Amino acid sequence: MNRKYRKTVIAGNWKMNMLASEIKPFMEELKANLPKARTCEMVLCVPGVMVPAMVKAGKDCKVAAGGEDVSCFEKGAYTGEVSASQLADVGAKYCIVGHSERRQYHGEDDMLVNAKARALLDKGIMPIICVGESLEQRESNLTMEYVAYQVKAALSGIDASQLRRCVIAYEPIWAIGTGKTATAEQAQEVCEGIRAVIRGIYGARPARAVSILYGGSMNAKNAYELLAQPDIDGGLIGGASLKPVDFATIIKATDQG
Ligand code: 13P
């Protein structure tokens, strides 16, 4: 983290877990375990249908609500889709785009991820843009090349003032839901590389200001070391964000003096 230049963000991704009716008890337990001093921005990204309940329950302890996906279209005959304006209208402040599970199970490509990020920015929602390599790519030493390509594609047509409202999340696919975390060195190396790619496009200042998160089996035990890395500005957390005490512990790990 480097709080002098950028904000620290701890974002949960509930994926397709939990029920709207479980949000209130979750938030009560989270609140009871949160530190008094705020050292990060707290976000919980939930299925679209649960966003209103999260907005309401999150107010008390200042947890922002986010979506997990959005349509790239503005409005119209797109049955089943949820638009950026609809998310904004119910109070979402963030939305994940380009998660590897969407890329894998729904065939989302980099152009679509870019279109979704731009749709969100147009409506004042901050996109959390996910990138990350597969195990095969890592083992073939293609990690940085591939991640750099994803970052450039996702940011295509986004100007420096819009970049200030984007968050990047580095999530190596092999670390998601596997219990196999990237080492702090591996995660730092790629996050630093992502910042260098952004510096190449936008220059030093915007690159210094963008928050880059790590995601992939981040938990209450490994969060402190990961967050101690200079280019890791927070976490995008799946499994551990479903447990209020663990999520609170990760939030506390952002308090590093
Ligand atoms: P886990 O923390 O369960 O590995 O999930 C990470 C993730 O995919 C967050 O978007």
Low-confidence residues in the chain, pLDDT < 70: none
d(CA 71, CA 172): 24
What is the pLDDT, as a whole number, of residue 3? 86
Contact 9, 43 (CB under 8 A): yes
Residue 99 designated active-site:
yes
What is the pLDDT, as a whole number, of residue 163? 98
Q: Which helix (H) or strand (E) holds 52?
A: helix 51-58
177 lines ligand 1 (CB under 6 A): yes
Which of ligand 1's atoms lies nearest the C-alpha of 218?
Answer: 2
- Joined together, the tokens standing for residue 64 give 């922002």
Q: Which helix (H) or strand (E) holds 158?
A: none
pLDDT tens digits, one per residue of 129-185? 999 999 999 999 999 999 999 999 999 999 999 999 999 999 999 999 888 888 999
Contact 130, 99 (CB under 8 A): yes
What is the pLDDT, as a whole number, of residue 61? 87
Distance from residue 238's CA to the centre of ligand 1 (Å): 3
What is the pLDDT, as a whole number, of residue 26? 98
Which of ligand 1's atoms lies nearest the C-alpha of 101?
Answer: 8
Is the whole-model pTM more than 0.85? yes
